[in-house]
Chain A
């Protein structure tokens, strides 16, 4: 029963949502509208569960002074400070705005900006024309790097033209194949889940 009932629910919900796209039948369509709004409520609960889970992992770590407990103090302190200031003072309050514009925004941008340096260094050290394939990759990369910034057009008007051709013809052809095949795989996986052929989501084995 522990497995049969969830499988029946998944089948009914999955088939209902699929059929809703193709059939106009008021009872089905209305019930699927309700179901879609339930999904939003469920997603909100999962957000709350995630926040509680974070506290349940880090508070015991701080109490027992285990592992990187000092970093856990920073995480829990700022998490609670953001939540409390947001709820009780409001998101337009000084405390929340200072946390947001003074820490979160520059912190987030800095971490991503560092990637540019790592990628540049990795490209410089490893990009070598070792064979025909890597030479083609190298030439394509250089053309696209130039065509995507203003200096490409300043060097030659042909650079953006070649860059556009690479993006719109060979790239688009390959991407289209990838999109279609991954979409078919997506449909297959979901059909297996709906029809009960795959029970991994229930903790079972395929």
Chain B
């Protein structure tokens, strides 16, 4: 039988503690203050400085698995775009996200009373990943013949002045797979400003792009979404989840510290036994 060690908690205990600490604040929110980070402020200020009528292309490059982490960022930013009267061209390179993209636009632009085809357009799914981004640099119609509803792009009012990717003012890429294709095809080639929204694990790897000026900012995970919701004054899904995430992190840290205390006690005992 496995020897019981109080300092190395069983997996089930860790899971149970985490579960309690995640569920509890979701039911009874603690309301820990949310302070926007430098990167979130950078992204917000950049959007805020755009003139009404400026255009943004939204790329959805994550699957449903990352939806819980990245959807709140998409919603918060789209709400801000709508407030600023920005024209949004939305597309996804993940087939399963075409349906989700329609919902995002309905929840934000649709709910704000914006007109489809004049204020926002859903270009739907495109295949070819980076090759397609390269082709968009030549012509958007070469990649998207129609919008998600099958309407010919040439008949959509918003497409009158937009022929190719660099005709659009800003790229907003929400990705869980990689930022490099966007850097190469949008910024390096055409000098387009890019705001990235990535999941938490990708955050540190993308910091150099802000410092080099290749990206305006990188919004990282749910905390960035909660901060964005706070700045625009529209608390949503991410704000609600922040207390849960905070407490889950604290539980993990406490368990790690607890495990280390046990490790040092054990080490000292072994040393004492050896000396005896």
Contacts and interface: CB of A to CB of B under 8 A. Distances in A.
A197 interface: no
B15 A117 contact: yes
Contacts of A138: 256, 260
- Please classify the interface of chain A as helix (H, G, I), strand (E, B), loop, or mixed, using the class held by over half of its residues: helix
A142 B254 CA distance: 10
Contact of A154 (B32, B207, B208): B32
A153 B98 contact: no
Nearest to A144: B204
A121 B248 contact: no
A151 B15 contact: no
Contacts of B9: 124
Given A39-B135, A40-B126, A125 B207 contact: no
B8 A125 contact: yes
Contacts of B246: 149-151, 154
A142 B256 contact: yes
Given A108-B64, A116-B248, A154-B33, A167 B204 contact: yes
B96 interface: yes
A100 B99 contact: yes
Nearest to B247: A151
A160 B35 contact: yes
Chain B residues touching A, range: 35 or more
B198 interface: no
B245 A109 contact: no
A153 B206 CA distance: 23
Interface residues of A, number: 54
A119 B129 CA distance: 30
Contact of A179 (B33, B138, B208): B208
B134 interface: yes
Interface stretch (A61-69, A71-79, A168-176, A198-206): A168-176
A189 to B, nearest CB: 15
Contact of B249 (A109, A128, A146, A164): A146
Contacts of B221: 148
Contacts of A47: 95, 127
Interface stretch (B46-54, B65-73, B268-276): B65-73
B18 interface: yes
Contacts of A116: 18, 248
A145 B249 contact: yes
B241 to A, nearest CB: 10
Given A43-B131, A105-B67, A113-B68, 4 more contacts: A108-B96, A117-B18, A148-B249, A150-B32
Of all A-B residue pairs in the complex, the 5 with the closest CB atoms, nearest first, are A108-B64, A43-B128, A39-B131, A151-B246, A112-B65
24 contacts: A21-B189, A39-B128, A39-B131, A43-B127, A43-B132, A47-B127, A105-B64, A105-B67, A108-B67, A109-B65, A109-B68, A111-B65, A112-B66, A117-B15, A120-B255, A121-B11, A125-B259, A128-B263, A148-B220, A148-B249, A150-B242, A151-B246, A151-B250, A179-B208
